[in-house]
Amino acid sequence: MGRKSTACQNCRSIKALCTKQLPCVRCKRLLLSCRYEPTTFLENDRRKPFPKAGITKAKHTKSQSGCLGCRRRRKKCDEKQPACADCERLRLPCIRPGDHVHELGGRSECGVESHAEETADALLALDAFGLWAATDSQGRRGQDTTASLTSFSDWLALIETENIAETISNADLAGSTALVNTGHFGNDGSENVATFLPCTALNKLTGVTLDAVAKWRAVEKYLLDHFLQSVSRALVIAEDNVDPFLRVVVPMALKNTMVQHALFALSACHLSRIYPVFESDFYFHRSKALQELMCELEDPTASSCAVAATLLLTFTEICTGTSRKWIIHLHGARALLSQGVSDMVGPPADTLIEIYNYLSCMTSVTSEMAPGRLGDSLQLSSSNATPSTSAFIHPLLGLSTSIYESLASISRFAARTRNKPPSLEELEETKEIERALKAWQPPKVAAHNESRNFTEARAMGFALQQATIMRLQQITKRLENNDPKITKAADSILSALSLIRPGSEIEAHMLFPLFMAGVGSITKPHRLTIEYRLKVMEATIGFGNISIAHKLLAEIWRKANEGELMDWEELMRCKYPGFIFL
Per-residue pLDDT of the chain (582 residues; tens, 9 = 90+): 456 667 888 888 887 888 888 888 888 877 788 888 764 444 444 444 545 555 555 555 556 678 877 876 677 888 888 788 887 776 667 777 655 433 333 333 333 333 444 444 554 444 344 444 443 333 333 334 444 444 555 555 555 554 543 444 455 564 555 544 433 444 444 444 444 555 557 877 888 888 888 888 888 988 999 999 999 999 998 888 889 999 999 999 999 999 999 999 999 999 998 888 888 889 889 989 988 888 887 766 667 899 999 999 999 999 998 888 888 889 888 888 887 665 565 567 888 999 999 999 889 888 888 888 887 667 555 444 333 445 578 888 888 888 988 998 898 898 888 888 888 888 899 999 999 999 999 887 767 667 888 899 999 999 999 999 999 999 998 888 999 999 999 999 999 999 999 989 899 989 999 999 999 999 999 999 999 999 999 999 999 999 999 999 999 999 999 888 888 888 888 888 888 888
Q: How far is CA 88 from CA 64, 69, 93, 135, 164, in A?
A: 20, 11, 8, 20, 30
| The last residue of a domain, from among 384, 408, 429 | 384
pLDDT for the residue 378: 72
How many domains does the structure of the chain reveal? Answer: 3
Residue 416: domain span = 398-575
Structural domain contains residue 581: no
| The last residue of a domain, from among 354, 384, 414 | 384
Hey, is 272 helix, strand or coil? coil
Residues 182 and 80 in one domain: yes
Contacts of 32 (CB under 8 A, 6+ apart): 10, 23, 26
Q: How far is CA 277 from CA 185, 221, 260, 313, in A?
A: 16, 16, 20, 20
Residues 405 and 359 in one domain: no
Residues 320 and 404 in one domain: no
**Rounded distance, CA 301 to CA 292, Å?**
15
Q: Would you say 185 and 173 are in contact if contact means Cβ atoms under 8 Å apart?
A: yes
Q: How far is CA 117 from CA 415, 427, 454, in A?
A: 21, 35, 40
pLDDT for the residue 130: 45
Q: At what angle do helices 511-520 and 544-561 cross, to 10 degrees?
A: 10
Q: Would you say 580 and 366 are in contact if contact means Cβ atoms under 8 Å apart?
A: yes
Residues 366 and 492 in one domain: no
pLDDT for the residue 464: 95
**CA proximity to 155, closest of 335, 19, 404:** 335
Q: CB atoms < 10 A from the CB of 66, how many?
A: 17
Residues 84 and 221 in one domain: yes
Structural domain contains residue 524: yes
Q: CB atoms < 10 A from the CB of 388, how many?
A: 14
pLDDT for the residue 485: 93
Residues 465 and 372 in one domain: no
**CA proximity to 151, closest of 260, 73, 263, 262:** 73
Residues 105 and 233 in one domain: yes
Residues 318 and 408 in one domain: no
Residues 433 and 338 in one domain: no
pLDDT for the residue 542: 92
Structural domain contains residue 50: no
Structural domain contains residue 568: yes
Q: Would you say 99 and 81 are in contact if contact means Cβ atoms under 8 Å apart?
A: no
pLDDT for the residue 563: 87
**CA proximity to 322, closest of 579, 571, 515, 580:** 579
Residues 471 and 368 in one domain: no
Residues 41 and 103 in one domain: no
Structural domain contains residue 505: yes
pTM for the model stands at 0.73
Hey, is 185 helix, strand or coil? strand
| The last residue of a domain, from among 318, 350, 384 | 384
Instruction: Give the up-direction half-sphere exposure of residue 337: CA atoms within 13 A in the CB hemisphere.
Output: 27
The runs of H, that is alpha helices, within 345-442 are 346-363, 401-416, 424-439
Q: Which amino acid is at 451?
A: S
Residues 554 and 405 in one domain: yes
Structural domain contains residue 389: no
Structural domain contains residue 216: yes
Structural domain contains residue 64: no
